[in-house]
């Protein structure tokens, strides 16, 4: 009897691994030696000794991967080798050649990225340190470093990682698109740490405030060591005297400093989720390029959810691309006002456009300022500003309407040049808020994942069916065989059968989420599994959700919380 029981359990347990090849085999390394390689998509190199970081192939799109380093638990990417040239998910390899060169080769065997470290003489090895630094160094002497990822940061600086004259941070295009974006943090030639907006047509520094001298912003230009570092306690200091401490200053959480896709530099601390513990103290609208040309940025308050910032087109303009505010607005009228002395001006209160001045004319009346603007074919409008010091009005005609900001804090109006044709240009017309740059993150479609999920769903449905059938038969056989046995034995055996059942739940969860059982947060399991982290991102797929719900219930720790086989079959069939 006992032998049969053991066989039964062995059968139950072994029936599970048959379905495991669905997720391709992958290897976890702690050191990569010469002549070996990491294969996409599954192989990883974990940091030692505490596995805080993982290096491997991070999915960025439709069968597209980037060689990356991320926080193992918190899943935030901190470095990418090939952010602008993602590689294929299959047959891509990161190889440490015998020459000592580290090469990322796509399926076509083309090197997509290399560390350029050939010709090192000693035996080398690739290691990931618990600081998040991927280091290629001598195999024997770990302090002899040939190449390190800390020297080529992407958008994130980790504690202890210096920003130097040779390195800069470049934001991502969007929260979901990891390719190089518009914002850069770097040391300028005058030794000052700056933030630059560098768009396709325009580029300008916006921090520290460009209209102030460096010393007025508390920066020193004299120390040419050009280094800045965030320490482990959350203190940041730069050689130009810029310093800050995070709100949770002190030893404790893991931190990262990231130049986000919206141009804001933030420090995040990990406490079961990433929390912002410092961000660049600039008014959100002063981040250049945020609203594009011919538009106005407005903001109410700093809120925990975001910056409370929104974009609106100038009157008689409309959004060029409602989905991407940075493309700005285009005139709603046929003809750009140009070289026509009959052009008219529309007053827009509490509004300022920064930069792109044709000139600066002191002590001018409104009429004088209008005729100055009309005298330039390229003048699109002018700022008319009272100078409290001199007690006169100054005139700032502009060629380009960029960095527009509307706030009740501004007294001065802006005058927009419009073609003469219509007398209906109205001052009172409210600004059409066609363009909203709210901070809700719009997720990009990840076709690859989606397709894969459907494929997976099919395999899962099959495996669920087969497993279900096997288990039903086994349980029936088992019940039949054990009907003569004592109560005690029966109870005990049921627990073991149920354990097999639990592992089925765990395996399904693992396949659906791509997480290891350790990472799946079973505490979150409740009636409404749609709110659990496990089902995040699969809302669009009801069948899969159902499967996850069943799997979650099967994986409950208390046996009486788990559904019976009949309920499972019912749940799987009724959807
Ligand atoms: C290890 O490498 C470091 C840096 O190159 C060097 O200073 C040190 O002397 C080396 N130690 C040994 C034992 O070779
Ligand atoms: C990410 O942004 C870059 C640059 O704007 C673009 O070329 C690329 O197609 C985008 N990738 C995805 C997956 O949308
Ligand atoms: C320059 O900055 C570095 C790094 O912050 C600092 O160690 C050094 O003392 C500074 N030098 C001077 C002359 O202030
Ligand atoms: C401003 O211009 C007016 C007229 O040209 C002149 O009378 C006045 O003195 C000027 N004010 C200043 C402060 O220059
Ligand atoms: C914010 O963006 C989301 C997604 O694009 C949109 O559905 C929502 O209407 C926007 N909110 C506002 C206030 O415009």
Residue 451 is predicted with a pLDDT of 37
- Cα torsion angle, 566, 572, 573, 575, sign: positive
Least confident of 13-17, 203-207, 418-422: 13-17
pTM metric for this prediction = 0.64
Residue 310 is predicted with a pLDDT of 76
Q: Which residues have a Cβ under 8 Å from the Cβ of 179 and sit 6 or more positions away?
A: 83, 84, 172, 173
Ligand nearest the Cα of residue 324 is: 5
Rounded to the nearest angstrom, the distance between the alpha carbon of 205 and the centre of ligand 3 is: 24
- What's the whole-number average pLDDT of the chain? 75
Distances in Å between the alpha carbon of 173 and those of 206, 236, 261, 306, 464?
18, 25, 6, 18, 40
**Ramachandran angles phi, psi of 260, nearest 5°:** -75, 165
Residue with CA closest to ligand 5 atom 11: 438
- Cα torsion angle, 260, 265, 269, 273, sign: negative
Rounded to the nearest angstrom, the distance between the alpha carbon of 180 and the centre of ligand 2 is: 9
Rounded to the nearest angstrom, the distance between the alpha carbon of 292 and the centre of ligand 2 is: 19
CA–CA distance, 73 with 130 (Å, rounded to integer): 13
Ligand nearest the Cα of residue 221 is: 3
Least confident of 56-60, 89-93, 492-496: 492-496
Closest among 344, 350, 431 to 383, alpha carbons compared:
350
Percent of the chain beyond pLDDT 70? Answer: 65
Identify any residues that bridge with 111 across adjacent strands, giving them in sequence order.
105
Band (424; pLDDT cuts 50, 70, 90): low
Residue 154 is predicted with a pLDDT of 96
**Ramachandran angles phi, psi of 389, nearest 5°:** -65, -50
Cα Rg of the chain, angstroms: 31
Contact 186, 168 (CB under 8 A): yes
* H or E stretch covering 184: strand 180-187
Residue 110 is predicted with a pLDDT of 82
Residue 494 is predicted with a pLDDT of 38
Percent of the chain beyond pLDDT 90? Answer: 32
Residue 106 is predicted with a pLDDT of 87
Q: Which span out of 107-121, 473-487, 497-511 was modeled with the highest average pLDDT? A: 107-121
Half-sphere exposure of 539 (CA within 13 A, CB side): 7
Band (563; pLDDT cuts 50, 70, 90): low
Closest among 92, 62, 60, 64 to 77, alpha carbons compared:
60
Q: Which residue has the higher pLDDT, 338 or 208?
A: 208
Contact 31, 125 (CB under 8 A): yes
Please write the tens of the pLDDT for every residue from 209-225.
887 888 888 999 999 99
CA–CA distance, 225 with 231 (Å, rounded to integer): 18
Residues within 6 Å of ligand 2 by CB: 61, 173, 177, 179, 444
Contact 68, 164 (CB under 8 A): no
- Using the atom order of ligand 2, give the atom closest to the CA of residue 64: 13
Residue with CA closest to ligand 4 atom 8: 363
* H or E stretch covering 66: strand 64-71
Closest among 114, 107, 228, 85 to 165, alpha carbons compared:
228
Please write the tens of the pLDDT for every residue from 5-61.
555 554 444 444 444 434 457 889 999 998 999 988 889 999 988 999 999 999 998
Q: Is the pLDDT of residue 415 over 50?
A: yes
Band (422; pLDDT cuts 50, 70, 90): low
Rounded to an integer, the average pLDDT of 188-198 is 91
Rounded to the nearest angstrom, the distance between the alpha carbon of 185 and the centre of ligand 4 is: 44
Ligand nearest the Cα of residue 433 is: 5
Angle at 385 (CA atoms; ends 382, 386), nearest 5 degrees: 155
Ligand nearest the Cα of residue 64 is: 2
Residue with CA closest to ligand 5 atom 7: 440
Residue with CA closest to ligand 4 atom 3: 363
Band (292; pLDDT cuts 50, 70, 90): confident
Counting beta carbons within 10 angstroms of the beta carbon of residue 484, is it exposed (0 to 12), middle (13 to 18) or buried (19 or more)? Answer: exposed
Contact 49, 33 (CB under 8 A): no
- Using the atom order of ligand 4, give the atom closest to the CA of residue 390: 13
Task: Please state whether 571 falls in left (phi above 0), alpha (psi between -120 and 50) or beta.
Answer: alpha
Q: Which residue has the higher pLDDT, 180 or 421?
A: 180
Identify any residues that bridge with 61 across adjacent strands, giving them in sequence order.
64
Rounded to an integer, the average pLDDT of 107-134 is 86
Contact 244, 230 (CB under 8 A): no
CA–CA distance, 433 with 440 (Å, rounded to integer): 17
Rounded to an integer, the average pLDDT of 322-334 is 79
Residue 175 is predicted with a pLDDT of 84
Q: Is the pLDDT of residue 523 over 50?
A: no
Return the number of other C-beta atoms located less than 10 Å from residue 536's C-beta. 10
CA 203 from chain centre, in angstroms, equals: 23
Contact 96, 1 (CB under 8 A): no
Residue 421 is predicted with a pLDDT of 65
Rounded to an integer, the average pLDDT of 184-208 is 87
Residue with CA closest to ligand 3 atom 12: 223
Residue 377 is predicted with a pLDDT of 87
Contact 376, 395 (CB under 8 A): no
Residue 282 is predicted with a pLDDT of 64
CA–CA distance, 22 with 560 (Å, rounded to integer): 30
* H or E stretch covering 89: none
Ligand 1 close to Cβ of residue 144 (< 6 A) = yes
């Amino acid at each position: 009897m006992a032998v049969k029981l053991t066989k039964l359990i062995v059968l139950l347990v072994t029936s599970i691994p048959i379905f495991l090849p669905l997720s391709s085999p992958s290897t976890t390394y702690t050191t990569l030696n010469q002549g070996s390689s990491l294969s996409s998509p599954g192989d990883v190199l974990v940091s030692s000794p505490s596995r805080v970081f993982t290096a491997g192939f991070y999915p960025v799109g439709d069968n597209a991967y980037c060689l990356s380093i991320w926080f193992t638990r918190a899943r935030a990417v901190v470095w990418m080798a090939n952010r602008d040239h993602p590689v294929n998910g299959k047959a891509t390899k990161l190889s440490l050649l015998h020459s000592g060169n580290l090469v990322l080769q796509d399926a076509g065997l083309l090197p997509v990225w290399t560390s350029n470290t050939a010709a090192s003489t000693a035996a080398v090895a690739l290691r990931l340190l618990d600081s998040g630094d991927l280091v290629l160094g001598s195999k024997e002497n770990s302090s002899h470093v040939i190449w390190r990822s800390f020297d080529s940061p992407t958008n994130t600086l980790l504690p202890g990682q210096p920003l130097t004259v040779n390195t800069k941070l470049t934001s991502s295009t969007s929260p979901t698109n990891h390719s190089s974006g518009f914002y850069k943090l770097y040391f300028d030639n005058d030794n000052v740490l700056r933030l630059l907006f560098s768009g396709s047509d325009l580029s300008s520094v916006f921090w520290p405030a460009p209209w102030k001298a460096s010393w007025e912003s508390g920066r020193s230009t004299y120390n040419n060591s050009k280094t800045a570092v965030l320490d482990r306690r959350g203190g940041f200091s730069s050689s130009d005297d810029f310093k800050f401490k995070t709100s949770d200053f002190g030893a404790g959480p893991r931190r990262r400093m990231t130049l986000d896709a919206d141009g804001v530099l933030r420090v995040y601390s990990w406490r079961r989720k990433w929390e912002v513990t410092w961000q660049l103290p600039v008014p959100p609208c002063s981040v250049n390029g945020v609203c594009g040309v011919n538009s106005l940025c407005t903001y109410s308050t700093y809120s925990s959810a975001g910056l409370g910032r929104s974009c609106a087109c100038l009157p008689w303009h409309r959004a060029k691309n409602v989905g991407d505010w940075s493309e700005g607005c285009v005139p709603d009228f046929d003809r750009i006002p140009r070289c026509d002395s009959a052009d008219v001006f529309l007053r827009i209160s509490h509004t300022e456009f920064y930069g792109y001045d044709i000139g600066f004319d002191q002590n001018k009346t409104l009429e004088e300022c209008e005729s100055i603007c009309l005298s330039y074919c390229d003048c699109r409008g002018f700022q008319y500003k009272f100078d409290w010091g001199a007690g006169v009005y100054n005139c700032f005609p502009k060629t380009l309407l960029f960095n527009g900001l509307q706030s009740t804090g501004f007294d001065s109006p802006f005058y927009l040049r419009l073609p003469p044709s219509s007398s209906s240009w109205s001052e009172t017309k409210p600004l059409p808020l066609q363009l909203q740059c709210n901070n809700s993150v719009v997720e990009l479609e990840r076709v690859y994942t989606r397709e894969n999920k459907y494929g997976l769903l099919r395999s899962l449905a099959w495996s669920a069916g087969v497993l279900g059938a096997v288990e039903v038969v086994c349980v029936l056989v088992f019940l039949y065989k054990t009907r003569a046995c004592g109560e005690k034995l029966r109870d005990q055996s049921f627990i073991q059968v149920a354990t097999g059942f639990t592992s089925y739940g765990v395996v399904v969860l693992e396949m659906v989420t791509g997480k290891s059982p350790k990472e799946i947060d079973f505490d979150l399991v409740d009636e409404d599994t749609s709110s659990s982290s496990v089902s995040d991102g699969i809302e669009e797929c009801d069948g899969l959700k159902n499967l996850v719900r069943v799997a979650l219930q099967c994986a409950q720790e208390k046996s009486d919380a788990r559904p019976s086989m009949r309920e499972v079959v019912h749940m799987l069939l009724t959807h």
